[in-house]
């Protein structure tokens, strides 16, 4: 794998962290609608999402486009792990089976 694929994977990881932060912000009570959309969690989450987008654009300057959907699929795996660690969400057999299929597909693609 070249450095551009690593950059794309970092972009996916950053987007996954962004999603966890956004969900953590959504789970908190808010005083009114303004603070529901303009609080540190939301602003940080969207800021990280912007950084993720910029990393993706930079990665596409050297990575083949055929790799993008495969690397992007890692986001589901990252979100599963991060939601368990930081949000305490349950990992069901169905979620495990789906993520195992994603990982198997990635492995098959790169063999």
| 78 CB-side CA count, 13 A | 17
Q: Is pTM, for the whole model, over 0.85?
A: yes
Residue 93: pLDDT above 90?
yes
HEC profile of 54-85: HHHHHHCCCCCHHHHHHHHCHHHHHHHHHHHH
Q: Provide the b/e sequence for 31-57 (b: ≥16 CB within 10 Å).
A: eeeeeeeebebbebbeebbeebeebbe
Identify the band that residue 3 occupies on the pLDDT scale cut at 50, 70 and 90: confident
Residue 1: pLDDT above 80?
no
- Over pLDDT 70: what percentage of the chain? 99
Q: Spell out the domain ranges in the chain.
A: 3-110
Taking all residues of the chain, what is their mean pLDDT, rounded to a whole number? 92
């Amino acid at each position: 794998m070249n450095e551009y694929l690593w950059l794309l994977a970092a972009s996916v990881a950053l987007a996954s962290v962004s999603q966890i932060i956004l969900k953590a912000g959504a789970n908190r009570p808010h005083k009114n609608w303004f603070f529901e959309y303009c609080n540190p969690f939301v602003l940080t989450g969207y800021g990280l999402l912007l950084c993720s987008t910029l990393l993706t654009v930079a990665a596409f300057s050297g990575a083949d486009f055929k790799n993008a959907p495969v690397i992007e699929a890692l986001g589901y795996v990252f979100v599963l792990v991060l939601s368990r660690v930081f949000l305490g969400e349950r990992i069901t057999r169905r979620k495990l089976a789906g993520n195992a299929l994603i990982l198997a597909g990635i492995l098959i693609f790169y063999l």
